[in-house]
């Protein structure tokens, strides 16, 4: 009897929470008690970008619509002009991210730039920005080229004729080596030594299983309970090991070890000059930013490589055109001039942009309002305004915008020509945002695309990919990936290039 009464009370509460958008004149997909619009996501039938896509396509006449992440109302702006206001012009009202896990909940994860808020975010962002500048990426490119060369050596010993390969094995090893080298300051070769300690830590830190994703939804919906249960995103023992690895490299560098053009050096140099604000942070803060490369940059960059190869396999004419461009590179490009030579490859750049349009690894960027806000009328020319107090969650529907036929002819087709110098100026602003936009856009975009280009230029000079399976999205993936993986046929090209 009491149980039944409690259930009814919970149901009434849930239905009341799920009335929020309707009572504010915002259209939503029909929510289910307790699960909101995430039933299919919770039971592993759909990826969350497919839920956003369903609303995006259903409410074509609306400037925005609502989605319930369980009970949390989340506004999805569809109109590029409204997106500009939220992300750029009125950033002061949307400076926070949706999910917030603070240091009290997770001392390592809660310190990283993605989680920081307000003035602490601003100071940290300013302090880290020089580490991702064009000149820093240029000096890190040779470190990346060494990692890409290790992949070539590994493959040349094994791939003598066409073989089936899950290219994710190669790309994650490469990206791990790049981050170990550029962020933590030491060399690994994860294909030859897949058990190196930082690779094992990385795989655990970014693990994309259901438990990890549910932790984020948990923090968004039941923060107090999650805190009481002491749920951490990164296991304490892993956090300690990451800390020890980074701090030992930092200590050595401060003690005068030979400088290296990496993230640690940027921090040490910045502290020396005391001009950027980096000196205001503790070593634990700095460890968190190094681990951030893994949290934000590992799966994203690896899956950029994977999806790139998947698209090349499915589009042999594009692959051939790209390979003709790569064949023009001097044999030495793998080394010192890595940055300049890959940056100069126009068709490679166009292909990277197009792959990121089709597969924007982060399918939805998030924000949370910090002030009362008038989102304007729900329809162009309408007079029902949605006005909300602080705390409204926003999901920017990047995946859907990138596949909207109003902005992209034949949006499902891979066509790098969309990004030629002549064509890209016709792209409507705020319809292409693989790295988000505004003051909180991805800080690592240049690092990621440089690492990707250095790898792809070497790989596709020596190998051709073909085959590939279904593109169906993995329902559990937060960073987009296909349900059935990235297995392709990799065939050596007829060695016309000096190694
Ligand atoms: C292909 C690879 C990558 C993609 C597609 C990607 C995409 C994104 C997107 C969409 C956002 C949200 C932006 C917004 O809310 O406006 C973001 C944020 C961020 N990304 Fe990336 N990212 C990639 C690689 C990296 C790498 C290598 C790093 C290196 C550290 C990185 C660091 C960050 C950080 C720190 C933020 C949060 C910035 C802030 O809140 O101030 N990302 N990324």
226 falls in which pLDDT band (50, 70, 90)?
confident
Least confident of 173-187, 219-233, 245-259, 397-411: 219-233
Least confident of 356-360, 375-379, 476-480: 476-480
Instruction: Give the Å distances, CA to CA, from 266 to 37, 245, 430, 439, 493.
Output: 44, 17, 32, 21, 39
**SS3 category, 487:** strand
499 falls in which pLDDT band (50, 70, 90)?
very low
pLDDT at 498: 44
274 falls in which pLDDT band (50, 70, 90)?
low
pLDDT at 229: 87
Ligand 1 atom at minimal distance to the Cα of residue 447: 27
Asked if residues 458 and 334 have their Cβ atoms less than 8 Å apart, the reply is yes
Quote the ligand 1 centre to 300 CA distance (angstroms).
8
Instruction: Give the Å distances, CA to CA, from 168 to 146, 316, 419.
Output: 19, 20, 26
User: 36: closest CA among 11, 68, 14, 65?
Assistant: 68
pLDDT, mean of residues 443-469: 95
d(Cα 492, Cα 464) in Å, to the nearest integer? 6
496 has pLDDT over 60: no
Residue 82 Cβ inside 6 Å of ligand 1? The answer reads no
pLDDT at 275: 55
- The burial class, CB within 10 Å (0-12 / 13-18 / 19+), for 227 is middle
pLDDT for 64-99, tens place per residue? 999 999 999 999 999 999 999 999 999 999 999 988
Asked if residues 188 and 178 have their Cβ atoms less than 8 Å apart, the reply is no
What is the residue extent of each domain of the chain? 2-492
Rounded to a whole number of angstroms, the distance between the first and last alpha carbons of the chain is: 76
Asked if residues 247 and 285 have their Cβ atoms less than 8 Å apart, the reply is no
Instruction: Give the Å distances, CA to CA, from 388 to 13, 154, 479.
Output: 21, 56, 30
pLDDT for 466-494, tens place per residue? 998 889 999 988 899 999 999 999 999 97
Residue 293 Cβ inside 6 Å of ligand 1? The answer reads yes
pLDDT for 124-161, tens place per residue? 999 899 999 999 999 999 999 999 999 999 999 899 99
Give the pair of three-digit tokens for residue 11.
């149901």
Least confident of 89-93, 168-172, 236-240, 405-409: 236-240
Q: What does the chain come to in residues? A: 499
421 has pLDDT over 90: yes
335 has pLDDT over 90: no
pLDDT at 271: 67
User: 329: closest CA among 320, 318, 316, 340?
Assistant: 340
User: 457: closest CA among 300, 362, 315, 337?
Assistant: 337
d(Cα 292, Cα 447) in Å, to the nearest integer? 13
pLDDT at 278: 59
pLDDT, mean of residues 154-172: 94
Residue 361 Cβ inside 6 Å of ligand 1? The answer reads yes
pLDDT at 273: 64
Quote the ligand 1 centre to 228 CA distance (angstroms).
30
361 has pLDDT over 70: yes
454 has pLDDT over 90: yes
Sequence-distant (6+) residues with CB within 8 A of 72 are 36, 220, 221, 393
d(Cα 110, Cα 116) in Å, to the nearest integer? 7
pLDDT for 2-38, tens place per residue? 788 999 999 999 999 999 999 999 999 999 999 999 9
pLDDT, mean of residues 271-298: 80
Percent of all residues in the chain with a pLDDT value above 70, rounded to a whole number:
95
Residue 443 Cβ inside 6 Å of ligand 1? The answer reads yes
Q: Kindly indicate whether the domain formed by 2-492 is annotated with CATH number 1.10.630.10.
A: yes
d(Cα 243, Cα 234) in Å, to the nearest integer? 12
In order, the DSSP letters of 144-176 are HHHHHHHHHHHHHHH-SS-EEEEHHHHHHHHHH
d(Cα 112, Cα 183) in Å, to the nearest integer? 14
Percent of all residues in the chain with a pLDDT value above 90, rounded to a whole number:
71
d(Cα 178, Cα 90) in Å, to the nearest integer? 36
Quote the ligand 1 centre to 361 CA distance (angstroms).
10
* Cβ neighbours, 10 Å, residue 89: 11
325 has pLDDT over 90: yes
Ligand 1 atom at minimal distance to the Cα of residue 360: 5
448 falls in which pLDDT band (50, 70, 90)?
very high
* Cβ neighbours, 10 Å, residue 495: 9
* CA atoms 72, 78, 83, 86: torsion sign: negative
**Backbone region of residue 491 per phi and psi (left: phi > 0; alpha: psi in -120 to 50; beta: other values):** beta
Asked if residues 321 and 415 have their Cβ atoms less than 8 Å apart, the reply is no
């Amino acid at each position: 009897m009491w149980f039944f009464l409690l259930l009814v009370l919970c149901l009434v509460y849930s239905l009341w929470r799920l009335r929020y958008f309707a009572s504010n004149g915002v259209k939503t997909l029909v929510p289910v008690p307790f699960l909101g619009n995430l039933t299919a996501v919770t039971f592993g039938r759909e990826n969350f970008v497919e839920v956003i896509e369903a609303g995006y396509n259903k409410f074509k006449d609306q400037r925005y619509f609502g989605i319930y992440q369980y009970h949390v109302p989340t506004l999805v702006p569809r109109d590029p002009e409204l997106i500009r206001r939220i992300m750029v012009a009125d950033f002061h009202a949307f400076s926070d991210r949706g999910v917030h896990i603070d240091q009290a909940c997770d001392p390592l994860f809660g310190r990283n730039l993605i989680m920081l808020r307000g003035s602490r975010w601003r100071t940290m962002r300013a302090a880290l920005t020089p580490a991702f500048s064009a000149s820093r990426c240029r000096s890190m490119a040779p470190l990346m080229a060494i990692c890409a060369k290790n992949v070539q050596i590994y493959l040349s010993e094994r791939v003598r004729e066409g073989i089936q390969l899950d290219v994710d094995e190669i790309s994650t090893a490469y990206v791990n080596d790049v981050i170990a080298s550029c962020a933590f300051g030491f060399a690994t070769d994860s294909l030859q030594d897949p058990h190196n300690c930082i690779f094992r830590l990385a795989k655990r830190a970014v693990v994309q299983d259901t438990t990890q994703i549910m932790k984020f939804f948990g923090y968004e919906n039941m923060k107090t309970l999650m805190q009481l249960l002491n749920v951490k995103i990164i296991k304490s023992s892993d956090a300690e090991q990451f800390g020890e690895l980074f701090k030992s490299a930092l200590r050595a560098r401060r003690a005068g070890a030979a400088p290296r053009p990496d993230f640690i050096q940027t921090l040490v140099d910045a502290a020396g000059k005391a001009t950027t604000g980096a000196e205001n942070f503790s070593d634990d803060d700095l460890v968190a930013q190094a681990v951030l490369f893994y949290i934000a940059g590992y799966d994203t960059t690896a899956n950029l490589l994977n999806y790139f190869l998947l698209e090349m396999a499915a589009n042999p004419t594009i692959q051939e055109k790209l390979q003709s461009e790569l064949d023009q590179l001097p044999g030495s490009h793998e080394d010192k001039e890595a940055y300049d030579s890959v940056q100069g490859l126009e068709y490679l750049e166009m292909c990277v942009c197009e792959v990121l349009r089709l597969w924007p690894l982060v399918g939805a960027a998030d924000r949370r309002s910090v002030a009362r806000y008038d989102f304007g009328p729900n329809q162009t020319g309408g007079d029902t305004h949605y006005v909300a107090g602080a705390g409204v969650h926003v999901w920017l529907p990047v995946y859907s915008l990138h596949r909207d036929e109003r902005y992209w002819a034949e949006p499902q087709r891979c066509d790098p020509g969309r990004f030629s110098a002549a064509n890209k100026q016709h792209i409507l602003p705020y319809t292409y945002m693989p790295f988000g936009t505004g003051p909180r856009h991805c800080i690592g975009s240049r690092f990621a695309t440089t690492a990707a280009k250095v790898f792809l230029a070497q790989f596709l000079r020596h190998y051709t990919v073909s085959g590939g399976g279904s593109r169906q999205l993995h329902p559990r993936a937060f960073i987009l990936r296909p349900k059935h993986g990235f297995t392709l046929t990799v065939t050596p090209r007829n060695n016309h290039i000096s190694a």
